[in-house]
Amino acid sequence: MLTFNQYFDKNSDLRHLANPNQKALDSVFDLISLERKNKKSGYYELPFEQKALQESHAYVKEKQFFLDSVKNIVIIGIGGSSLGLKAIDGLLSHLPARKKIQLAFLEHTDPIEIQKSLYNIHIKDSLFIIISKSGTTIETSSLMKYVIHRYGLFESFEKKSHLLFITDEDSPLYLLGKKEQVSTVGISKNIGGRFSVLSAVGVLPLMLLGYDVERLLEGAAEFEKNFFERKEEHLLKKAIFLAKNRDRFPINILFSYSSVFKDFNSWYVQLWGESLGKFDIYGKKVGLTPISLIGSIDQHSFLQLIAQGLMDKTITFLSIHQAKYIEPKIPDISFEYLGCTDFVNGASFAKLLNVQQIATMETIQNEGIPTDHIELEELCETNVGKLIIYFELLTSCVGGIFNINSYDQPGVELGKIRLREIFKILSKA
């Protein structure tokens, strides 16, 4: 179960904005319902369709003998092709069903990171998964070339069994996979990379790692169904508050109270930033700047700025219900000169972290800064599926209010064009 608490109205100056009228709620809901009906993005259908599950099961059945020997899975992809998968594995890797498979990511063209990521990776017990909507993203294509060359993956049919492509149907990478007889799974072109984790992009690798992907999708489906049955109105209220206050509060902070959220925070930053930083239909630049923090660590770096810096931020706290984590505990030990710290003696570290989060949240609220809080009762596939679709729907709602296309990234494409131009100039020099 997830609980959602909003405290936007703690500041009396914001109360009229924190509680939009029914007409405003209906307007945003109708906008998103129409977007879903018109299939503006295919992510709305992912929790309910069987395609990813069926193709993933088919791949596992066909390659079962080989997969039994796999000790390393290397994901070659960037941005939406890797962040969602990394986020979910980071949240769920403590589960007993998680297989003892090392998961490595090749995302970066940094030569030091490439060598580090592939250290002790041998072809005999490794599966290399190339994930890209087209295959033409320069980081992914360059890293793919390097891996294929380094391990001779195109040299024989046996070596090709160590490769898997996940890409858009009929994309250049899809066509290459079919030509070279590499196992290839296609996804709909109508699913943007940063919204793709509930497709085969995430489902197939997560299945290989041992997770119950059916429960992941069921959790997402349950939350989305409730949203479109008007049982999750808090999401609409939050979207309206953030969008209508974008000039006053242009920065949105996700303050997550557990280190397991580190990669999830990175997924959120890409989802939020790349979806909402756009020209609107009137040619005006709009957007909300995402920042990710981990508590309690970042209380000692960023909290000062939040509490007494410019009042231009909203904060979403994300945490796990700590009652079940009774170990380890802080020993009941006293040291001379350090007696002021003894008030936590005997308490669990989970309790300390929980109280730190409460104290931080109340400190921020007392400064009149808008906050809300999402708490997961436990970290399991069902709840993670709900969390993923919650942030995707929230992004769509804010983008709809902004009058933008939340699903393209023209600014990123401009950077890719400029990269090609510079390389051509340098090659002639």
User: In the annotation, is 23 catalytic?
Assistant: no
Position 417 in a domain: no
Token duo for residue 274: 């790349």
* Catalytic entry in 100, 285, 300, 428: 300
pLDDT of 267: 98
- Do 198 and 141 reside in the same domain of the chain? yes
Closest CA to 118 of 104, 139, 102, 108: 104
Tell me if 317 sits within 8 A of 288, measured CB to CB.
no
Concatenate the DSSP letters of all residues of 203-237 into one string: HHHHHHTT--HHHHHHHHHHHHHHHHTT--HHHHH
| Number of domains into which the chain is organized | 2
Residues whose CB falls within 8 Å of the CB of residue 268, separated by 6 or more in sequence, listed in order: 254, 290, 292, 391
Per-residue pLDDT tens over the stretch 226-274: 999 999 999 999 999 999 999 999 999 999 999 999 999 999 999 999 9
Residue 421 has pLDDT above 80, yes or no: no
pLDDT of 15: 78
pLDDT mean across residues, the chain: 94
Quick one: average pLDDT of 328-336?
A: 93
Tell me if 19 sits within 8 A of 9, measured CB to CB.
yes
User: In the annotation, is 416 catalytic?
Assistant: yes
Residue 95 has pLDDT above 80, yes or no: yes
Q: In terms of pLDDT, which residue wins out, 11 or 96?
A: 96
- Do 203 and 308 reside in the same domain of the chain? no
Position 354 in a domain: yes
pLDDT of 1: 86
- Do 132 and 223 reside in the same domain of the chain? no
Position 422 in a domain: no
- Do 308 and 397 reside in the same domain of the chain? yes
Binning pLDDT at 50, 70 and 90, where does residue 14 land?
A: confident
- Do 196 and 53 reside in the same domain of the chain? yes
Binning pLDDT at 50, 70 and 90, where does residue 111 land?
A: very high
Assign 3-state DSSP to the chain and report helix, strand, coil percentages, each to 5: 55, 15, 30
Query: Distance between alpha carbon 330 and the CA centroid of its chain, in Å?
Result: 33
- Do 193 and 315 reside in the same domain of the chain? no
| Residues 199, 41: Cα–Cα separation, whole Å | 13
* Burial (CB count within 10 angstroms: exposed 0-12, middle 13-18, buried 19+), residue 130: buried
Q: In terms of pLDDT, which residue wins out, 114 or 422?
A: 114
| Residues 356, 387: Cα–Cα separation, whole Å | 23
- Do 244 and 203 reside in the same domain of the chain? no
Position 429 in a domain: no
Position 420 in a domain: no
pLDDT of 429: 60
- Do 182 and 228 reside in the same domain of the chain? no
pLDDT of 130: 97
- Do 127 and 263 reside in the same domain of the chain? no
| Residues 202, 83: Cα–Cα separation, whole Å | 10
Above pLDDT 70, what percent of the chain? Answer: 99
User: In the annotation, is 300 catalytic?
Assistant: yes
Tell me if 41 sits within 8 A of 153, measured CB to CB.
no
Residue 407 has pLDDT above 70, yes or no: yes
* Catalytic entry in 224, 274, 381, 392: 274
Per-residue pLDDT tens over the stretch 62-90: 999 999 999 999 999 999 889 999 999 99
Q: Which of these three, 153, 178, 211, is where a domain ends?
A: 211
The residue type at 168: D
Per-residue pLDDT tens over the stretch 388-398: 999 999 999 99
| Residues 208, 210: Cα–Cα separation, whole Å | 5
| Residues 349, 331: Cα–Cα separation, whole Å | 10
Closest CA to 87 of 407, 408, 379, 321: 379
| Residues 242, 237: Cα–Cα separation, whole Å | 9
Instruction: Tell me the angle at which helices 381-402 and 22-37 cross, rounded to the nearest 10 degrees.
Output: 100
Domain CATH number, residue 311: 3.40.50.10490
Q: Which of these three, 211, 237, 263, is where a domain ends?
A: 211
Residue 323 has pLDDT above 80, yes or no: no
Residue 414 has pLDDT above 90, yes or no: no
Position 13 in a domain: yes
What's the CA angle centered on 191, arms 399 and 286, to 5 degrees? 20
Position 425 in a domain: no
pLDDT of 166: 97
- Do 239 and 198 reside in the same domain of the chain? no
Per-residue pLDDT tens over the stretch 127-140: 999 999 998 888 99
Binning pLDDT at 50, 70 and 90, where does residue 150 land?
A: very high
Helix (H, G, I), strand (E, B) or coil at 136: coil
Tell me if 143 sits within 8 A of 84, measured CB to CB.
no
The residue type at 155: E
- Do 394 and 266 reside in the same domain of the chain? yes
List, in sequence order, every residue forming a beta bridge with 11; answer none if it has no partner. Answer: none
Q: Domain range spanning residue 351?
A: 2-37+216-411
Q: Which of these three, 175, 195, 211, is where a domain ends?
A: 211
| Residues 172, 130: Cα–Cα separation, whole Å | 13
| Residues 201, 165: Cα–Cα separation, whole Å | 10
Binning pLDDT at 50, 70 and 90, where does residue 412 land?
A: low
Position 421 in a domain: no
- Do 31 and 140 reside in the same domain of the chain? no
φ/ψ (deg, to 5) at 99: -70, 155
pTM to 2 decimals? 0.94
Neighbours of 322 (CB within 10 A): 19
Quick one: average pLDDT of 292-312?
A: 94
Per-residue pLDDT tens over the stretch 190-235: 999 999 999 999 999 999 999 999 999 999 999 999 999 999 999 9
Per-residue pLDDT tens over the stretch 337-348: 998 999 999 999
